[in-house]
Amino acid sequence: MPAWLMVPAAIAAVLFLLPLIGLLTAAPWGEMWSLVSDAATLDALALSLECSLASAVLCLVLGLPLATWLAHGNDALRTTVRVFTTLPMVLPPIVGGLALLLVYGKNHLIGGSLHRWFGIEVPFTAAGVVLATTYVAMPFFVLTVEAGLRGFDRRYSEAAATLGAGPWRTFRTVTLPMIAPSVRAGLLIAWARALGEFGATITFAGSFQGRTRTMPLAIHHTFESQPAAAIALSLILLAVSAAVLFCLRRQWFPSR
Amino acid sequence: MVPLEMNIDATFTATRGTLKLDISLQVGDGETLALLGPNGAGKSTVLRMLAGLQDIERGQISLAGTLVDGGPGAVFVPPEQRNVGVMFQDHLLFPHLRLLDNVAFGLTSKGVKKRLARTVARYWLDRIGMGDYRNARPDELSGGQAQRVALARALANKPQLLLLDEPLAAADATARLELRRTLQTQLKSFGGSCVLVAHDIGDALALADRIAVLEEGRIVQTGTINELGARPASRYVADLIGLNCFRGTCSGNVLTMANGAEIILGTAHDGQAIATVHPRAVALFRERPAGSPRNVFQAPVVAVERALDCIRVRLGGNLPIVAEVTESAVGDLGLDRGGDVWAAVKATEFRVAPA
């Protein structure tokens, strides 16, 4: 690495470090414990973790097949579907939330039928939070995994086929283990995106304590009345995220 | 020479990039056929068709009496149901599995219980001398070792038919001889039919019963080495088999043939061996030449053959050899009148392989 590259590299590192220092210095350390043990905080934290995890699982179950299909060709249909799939990455999340409301809302397309026939309401429930975060997070997973699959040497699947493995066994025992680093990276990115999701969630699911108020929403809610408490909440979210990233550092960051 | 029982009967056309293939290929039960040809002739593509990894355009492929590909819209048996073992050019061992599970993969795919499959896999690894490596990952192996494991992986599945795509290409010079020996042994005990893509006539001679020469997507000639040599169908074939070939017993640098004639080689070997040398490397003189060539001998001129762009001089005696010379040399040496000439070949010009 050329020595002069250290200058922009250091600037980049400082860019990430400064806000962290800002939060740490402004935090109300005295009230920290009472805030952490507060029921509303614990509710929000639990809801955040549950919903982001559910979102990551949905990414895996639905996004992996989608990514596999996308990686298997370059035709117009796939290109079109890929554009759709990546749209939530560029749209402001609030637009996504609004669009979801127009589909799943009680008086709209699918939401109306769901309500009429099954009595199910998605908006303004925890399921709504999961739907909104998945909508925003899955594109990151799909793109990462598709890139992994496109880099996968298909001759390995051919070798598996000549050894008597059908398409499903080949996918399960050869393709998937070989692209595992991409799947793990995709899951991590999607989970992180889901954990921090704000715009789509507040639009589609609202901010009801204990039901739909995740950590980002709780921070937003507190910020208006008690800015100091909001900083404390931010630090809690930060600490939890950092702890998770630290625990997964070996297995989950693509190191090769 | 072709046995009545046909294990592979394939007649098809296909396209790969700009190359049009038009193939007719028959391989008998238990026979090994070598596909030889220049780069880009379509050798590997033929194997892909037989394995079911690529569709044919027209024609049909039958393996062991069963139609496996009848062309578009007709029967197509997918590769996983063909029971064909393939050894790929760059081994393609699964990098995430240890060797034992690589070799067991085919059996577990067929529904064999994991424990039994591993026992069989261990037997195969032992057979190719890689038993100690069963817990190693493919990236810990050399090219030659990986190819041997790839062979074991294909054979452990008990295929009806074995396809080897340049099995010796990935091995370096020393590993090559060992790998070739392994292939010889395993092919002998395999007993099924085998098609192998070879690059080198020596490999083809050592491993195959017959040779099919593929040029620009067509098989221009099929036969034993003698059949090809008797009437080469193309310049490529002539070049391919136009090499001088000596079979004998090696001891150190000396190859002794059955009739007692000796050749000095550039490298040391032991046991049965085939030494080849290109006719261009054989120099002719009227008087005994001075200088360094280690092989200098006197022999009668048997024939002077004028080919398209060279002249081949065939010498008799107990070391029959062909020399390639220019028209002016024929005049200078008065070769057309026959008689005895002196031939000189440098020891380093010989290529040696175990027979």
Which of B20-24, B61-65, B328-332 is predicted least confidently? B328-332
Residue A21 domain-assigned (yes or no): no
Quick check: A155 and B84 CB within 8 A? Answer: no
Residue A22 domain-assigned (yes or no): no
Residue A8 domain-assigned (yes or no): no
Confidence of residue B1 (pLDDT cuts 50, 70, 90): very low
Residue A26 domain-assigned (yes or no): no
User: How many domains would you assign to chain A?
Assistant: 1
Please report the pLDDT score of residue A251 as a whole number: 64
DSSP single-letter state for residue B152? H
Percent of chain B past pLDDT 70, that is, above it, reads 95
B 155-184 near A (Cβ less than 8 A): 157
Q: In 3-state terms, what secondary structure has residue B108?
A: helix
Question: What does the alpha-carbon distance between residue A77 and residue A244 come to, in Å, rounded to a whole number?
Answer: 38
End-to-end CA distance of chain A: 18
Confidence of residue A254 (pLDDT cuts 50, 70, 90): low
Interface test with A, best of B94, B120, B147 (most A CBs within 10 A): B94
Please report the pLDDT score of residue A195 as a whole number: 94
For residues A136-163, give the mean pLDDT.
96
Overall residue count recorded for chain B in this entry: 355
Residue A154 domain-assigned (yes or no): yes
Residue A46 domain-assigned (yes or no): yes
For residues B144-152, give the mean pLDDT.
94
For residues B30-44, give the mean pLDDT.
91
For residues B169-173, give the mean pLDDT.
81
For residues A115-140, give the mean pLDDT.
92
Quick check: B94 and A178 CB within 8 A? Answer: yes
Confidence of residue B123 (pLDDT cuts 50, 70, 90): very high
Residue A256 above 60 pLDDT?
Answer: no
Question: What does the alpha-carbon distance between residue B85 and residue B82 come to, in Å, rounded to a whole number?
Answer: 9
Q: In 3-state terms, what secondary structure has residue B23?
A: strand
Residue A107 domain-assigned (yes or no): yes
Task: From chain B, pick out residues whose CB is under 8 angstroms from the CB of A174.
Answer: 94
Three-class DSSP labels, chain A: CCHHHHHHHHHHHHHHHHHHHHHHHHCCHHHHHHHHCCHHHHHHHHHHHHHHHHHHHHHHHHHHHHHHHHHCCCCHHHHHHHHHHHHHHHCCHHHHHHHHHHHHCCCCHHHHHHHHHHCCCCCCCHHHHHHHHHHHHHHHHHHHHHHHHHHCCCHHHHHHHHCCCCHHHHHHHHHHHHCHHHHHHHHHHHHHHHHCCCHHHHHHCCCCCCCCCCHHHHHHHHHHHCHHHHHHHHHHHHHHHHHHHHHCHHHHCCCC
> What DSSP line would sit under B284-308, residue for residue?
EESSPPPSS-SEEEEEEEEEEEE-S
Residue B332 above 50 pLDDT?
Answer: yes
B 256-295 near A (Cβ less than 8 A): none
Residue of A nearest to B104 (CA): A163
Taking Cα atoms as reference points, which of B314, B312, B278 lies closest to residue B299? B314
Quick check: A159 and B157 CB within 8 A? Answer: no
Please report the pLDDT score of residue A252 as a whole number: 62
CB proximity B33 to A under 8 Å: no
- Nearest by CB to residue B92, choosing from A155, A164, A173, is A155
- Residue range of the domain that includes A133: 32-252
Residue A246 domain-assigned (yes or no): yes
Cβ–Cβ under 8 Å, residues B55 and B46: no
Please report the pLDDT score of residue B3 as a whole number: 42
Please report the pLDDT score of residue B16 as a whole number: 85
Which of A155-164, A168-177, B240-249 is predicted least confidently? B240-249
Quick check: B105 and A156 CB within 8 A? Answer: no
CB proximity A46 to B under 8 Å: no
Beta bridge partners of B21: B14
Q: Quote the tokens at residue A79.
A: 């290109």
Question: What does the alpha-carbon distance between residue B249 and residue B254 come to, in Å, rounded to a whole number?
Answer: 8
Q: In 3-state terms, what secondary structure has residue B8?
A: strand
Task: From chain B, pick out residues whose CB is under 8 angstroms from the CB of A177.
Answer: 96
CATH number at residue A244: 1.10.3720.10
Distance to chain A for B286, nearest Cα, Å: 58
Q: Quote the tokens at residue A31.
A: 């009230």
The predicted model scores a pTM of 0.78
The packing angle between helices B143-156 and B99-109, to 10°, is: 20
CB proximity A164 to B under 8 Å: yes
Distance to chain B for A182, nearest Cα, Å: 14
